[in-house]
Amino acid sequence: MNDRKLALGLVAILAGGLATGAHAQDTIKIGELNSYKVFPAFLEPYKKGWELALEEANKAGGVLGRKIEIVSRDDNGNPGDAVRVAEELLNREKVAFLIGTFPSHVGLAVSDFAKQNKVLFIAAEPLTDKIVWQNGNRYTFRLRTSTFMQTAMLVPDAVKLKKKRWAVVYPNYEYGQSATAAFKELMKKQQPDIEFVTEQAPPLGKIEAGAVVQAIADAKPDAIFSSLFGPDLQKFVREGNTRGLFRNVAVFNLLAGEPEYLDPLRDEAPEGWYVTGYPWDQIKTPEHAKFVAAYQAKFKDYPRLGSVVGYAVVQSAVAAMKKAGSLDQEKLVEAMKGLSHETPFGNITYRALDHQSTMGAYVGRIAVKNGKGTMVDWYFADGAKFLPSDEEVRKMRPAN
C-alpha cells in the first residue's frame, strides 16, 4: 500500500509539473514597465487601456495559438531602476519583449538597454525626439506623437498671430528641453524676427510658480510657449490667473488639452490657450466610439489620453506578433517596420526609416463649459504630415 501511495504521489507531482509547464508554454509574456507611482494621472488610465486591449486580444484567441500575459513593473520614474526592472523582466520573467515607459529620460535608458540586449522595445509614451532620431536603434519603436510633431502642430497658429516677443517655460529635463528646441527652430524658420525675451526652466515637479510667473511678467512678452504638464501646469495656471499674466497674452501649451491635466483645473482652466489634447467626448469616429463604449462598460469611467496610449501599445504588440508569426526578436523587429493597424485614433503606421508611428494628435483651444475645461475649435492633425523628411531623418539617425 505504501509503495502504491508513493507511486500515485509521484504521478500527481509529475502531472502537476507538466501542467505548469504546459501553462507556461501556452502563455506569451510581454514585459511592461512604467512610472506608475510618479505619474498616476496619466498612467492609471494608461493601465486600464492596456488591460482592456489585453482582455480583447485574449477573447479573440490570443496570438500564435496562445494567450497573452502582461507582466508589469514600476520603474519609479528613474532610468537606473528602469534598466534594472527591464533586466528582471527579460531574464527572470522570460518575457518575449518590452513595452511601456513614460518620461523621456527613462524611455531613452530602456531604449539603450533594448539595443544592448537585442530585444524589441515598443516605447508607448516618451515624447523625446532622440528615441527615434539621434539615439534611434534597430530594436526601439515609438508609438506616441513625438515632441517635434506636436510642437509642429502648434506652430502654424503661432505664426499666424505674428507675435514678436516670446517667453518660454518648460520642465528642465529631456522632454521640455526637446520641445523648446523644436519650437525655437520651427518659429525662427518661419518668423526670422522673433525674439525670446525670457526662458524659465524649473525642475520637473518642483516649480516655484510665483517666481516663474513674475519673471515672465517682467519680460513683457506678447506670447508664451509652454510644455509644462501635471501639477507644474496647475500651479503655473493658478498663479498666472491670480497675477493676470495671461491677459492679452497668447499662450501655446503642449499636452494642456489632455483630460489628465485639464480636468483638475475645472473652472480655472485657461480659456483661449492653444493646445494639443484629447476631446474624448466630442470625437465621433466609429473606431473611437467603439473604444469608448468598451472602456466605459469595463471601468465605469471615461477615457483619458493615457487610456488610448495603453490600449494602442498592446494593439501594436499583438499586430507585430501576428505579422512576424514568431517570437524571434529579429523577426519581430522586421515585422514592426512598416507595421500598420487600427487604433482609437484611426490607422497608424510605424515608419521603417525611423520607427516612429504616424499616430496623430488633436489640436485646438481651451474653453470653460459647465464649470470645467474642454477643447473647442479642435481638429485632428495626422501625424504623418508633421514628420521630418526622409533626408532630414537620415542626417539625424545613426545607421543601424
Residues 235 and 178 in one domain: yes
Question: What's the confidence (pLDDT) of residue 65?
Answer: 95
Using pLDDT thresholds of 50, 70 and 90, give the confidence band for residue 399. confident
Kindly state whether residue 396 falls inside one of the protein's structural domains: no
Residues 113 and 25 in one domain: yes
- What is the pLDDT averaged over residues 365-374? 96
- What is the pLDDT averaged over residues 230-256? 97
Question: What's the confidence (pLDDT) of residue 398?
Answer: 86
* Cβ-contact 72, 30 below 8 angstroms: no
Characterize the bridge pairing of strands 98-100 and 121-123. Answer: parallel
Kindly state whether residue 170 falls inside one of the protein's structural domains: yes
Q: Residue 177: pLDDT above 80?
A: yes
Kindly state whether residue 89 falls inside one of the protein's structural domains: yes
Pick from 15-19, 83-87, 361-365: least confident: 15-19
Q: Residue 8: pLDDT above 70?
A: no
Residues 349 and 370 in one domain: no
Residues 206 and 92 in one domain: no
Rounded Cα distance between 165 and 359, Å, is 32
CA distances from 62 to 56, 70, 94, 180, 315 (A): 9, 12, 18, 42, 12
Question: What's the confidence (pLDDT) of residue 251?
Answer: 98
Residues 368 and 237 in one domain: yes
Rounded Cα distance between 144 and 358, Å, is 8
- 16 or 290: whose pLDDT is higher? 290
Residue bearing cell 497658429: 157
Residues 156 and 246 in one domain: yes
Residues 381 and 250 in one domain: yes
Total of domains in the chain: 2
Kindly state whether residue 398 falls inside one of the protein's structural domains: no
Residues 275 and 303 in one domain: no
Kindly state whether residue 202 falls inside one of the protein's structural domains: yes
Kindly state whether residue 35 falls inside one of the protein's structural domains: yes
Question: What's the confidence (pLDDT) of residue 3?
Answer: 52
* Cβ-contact 171, 104 below 8 angstroms: no
Nearest to 30 by CA among 109, 112, 86: 86
* Cβ-contact 197, 220 below 8 angstroms: yes
Residues 308 and 251 in one domain: no
Per-residue model confidence as pLDDT tens digits over 113-133 = 999 999 999 999 999 999 999
Q: What's the per-residue H, E or C state across 287-352?
A: HHHHHHHHHHHHHCCCCCHHHHHHHHHHHHHHHHHHHHCCCCHHHHHHHHCCCEEEECCEEEEECC
pTM, entire model: 0.92
- 3 or 49: whose pLDDT is higher? 49
Residues 187 and 83 in one domain: no
Question: What's the confidence (pLDDT) of residue 179?
Answer: 95
Region of 203 please: left (phi>0), alpha (psi -120 to 50) or beta. Answer: beta
Residues 41 and 88 in one domain: yes
Domain of residue 180 covers 148-282+362-386
Rounded Cα distance between 372 and 370, Å, is 6
Residues 45 and 138 in one domain: yes
Question: What's the confidence (pLDDT) of residue 49?
Answer: 98
Rounded Cα distance between 125 and 117, Å, is 21
What CATH number does residue 212 fall under? 3.40.50.2300
Per-residue model confidence as pLDDT tens digits over 377-396 = 999 999 999 999 999 999 99
CA distances from 213 to 177, 199, 253, 356 (A): 19, 11, 15, 35
Kindly state whether residue 266 falls inside one of the protein's structural domains: yes
Kindly state whether residue 392 falls inside one of the protein's structural domains: no
Rounded Cα distance between 368 and 271, Å, is 6
Sheet containing 361-369: which strands, arranged edge to edge?
A: 195-200, 165-169, 223-226, 250-257, 274-277, 361-369, 372-381
Pick from 88-102, 340-354, 385-399: least confident: 385-399
Question: What's the confidence (pLDDT) of residue 7?
Answer: 47
